[in-house]
Amino acid sequence: MTTTVPEAIERGRALTVPALRATVDRLHPRLRHVVAYHRGWVDAAGDPVPGNGGKLVRPALALLSAEAAGAPAEVGLPAAVAVELVHDFSLLHDDLMDGDTERRHRATAWTVFGADGAILAGDALLGLATQVLLEVEGEPGRRAAVILGAGVQDLVRGQAEDLLFESRSDVSVAETLHMEDGKTGALLACSASLGAVLAGAPGEVVDGLAEYGSRLGTAFQLIDDLLGIWGDPAVTGKPVLNDLRSRKKSVPVVVALEAGGNDAEELRAFLTGEGESSEAELQHIAALVERAGGRDWTTAEADRQLKACENALRSISIPASAEAELLAMARFVTERDR
């Protein structure tokens, strides 16, 4: 399935990419090289290459949130840059912690520059994100930095829970959803609200946009969970059956475990096993998870989260054009194939 990219993403890319490049240029040359490679701007030798640098959903949301508060998109630009820097920080560290060797159809940064390079580059981006917001004059910049800091804490909490779940056999669906709300929902909540904060929007508008972003983030992660098992590697840029290969307890898997019965026991034995699995075994496990209802339940939950996201948006008073574009972004995220 191919979905139409919302105009807001293309507009957001035109505004954000130059500012993002200028911000990354502040880094130490070695770390700048790691980040530029990770973003797809250069190859491993540092030579420029054509690349899209990801979807840039988060910056687009930050710019739209400024417009939702009645301000020009440019007011939200520091927020757009900051949330993308935090996103890259999380990806650089996640790829290393998860042992992932491929992202966006190329080797991950840690496999090219080593663990030290990826860790330091991520650390530098996190500090730079806060700096970008604090450089905005007045109270809105400080407030935005505080909100982003809290969002990062939730993001890290979610990642810590994700890692802890690897050694637990009794993880529930509710726990997994809570983990995903932190791991992905927290930064989407910041993305959808910090532009409005910089625009001086009232608290109820900021809160409504944050709730929209949080629900959207959970839906986004649920779609990621589906793609991690049933996605097309030619589209996702990740190996086929990637999440099963790493024995990840994603939502579809945990739903299948909670279903009980022989399928759940076989799945549990697979998850606690060691060593490499054959493609045939992974395909069998994917079919088992689907048969136990994991795929259908996760799809339905993504739809529920999308509905909650839309309801949050409609509960606040914002310009109709901004509402329409934010709704289009939500549909794009939940109908995507990569």
Beta-strand relationship, 106-107 and 102-103: antiparallel
**191 assigned to some structural domain:** yes
Number of Cβ within 10 Å of residue 15's Cβ equals 19
**CATH, residue 287:** 1.10.600.10
Q: Is 48 helix (H, G, I), strand (E, B) or coil?
A: strand
Question: pLDDT at residue 73 above 70?
Answer: yes
pLDDT reported for residue 237:
63
Dig out the tokens for 238 from the structure. Answer: 């990740």
**1 assigned to some structural domain:** no
Q: What is the mean pLDDT of residues 179-197?
A: 97
Instruction: Give CA–CA dist 312/96, Å, rounded.
Output: 35
**38 assigned to some structural domain:** yes
**2 assigned to some structural domain:** no
Question: pLDDT at residue 153 above 50?
Answer: yes
pLDDT reported for residue 246:
86
| Crossing angle (nearest 10°) for helices 203-230 and 251-259 | 70
**78 assigned to some structural domain:** yes
Number of domains in the chain: 1
pLDDT in tens, 80-103: 999 999 999 999 999 999 898 998
pLDDT in tens, 28-66: 999 999 999 999 999 999 999 987 677 899 999 999 999
**Contact by Cβ (8 Å): 189, 217:** yes
**134 assigned to some structural domain:** yes
**319 assigned to some structural domain:** yes
**223 assigned to some structural domain:** yes
Range of the domain at 175: 7-335
The model's confidence at residue 334, banded by pLDDT at 50, 70 and 90, is confident
Say which residues have a Cβ less than 8 Å from residue 3's Cβ, sequence separation at least 6.
331, 332, 335, 336, 337
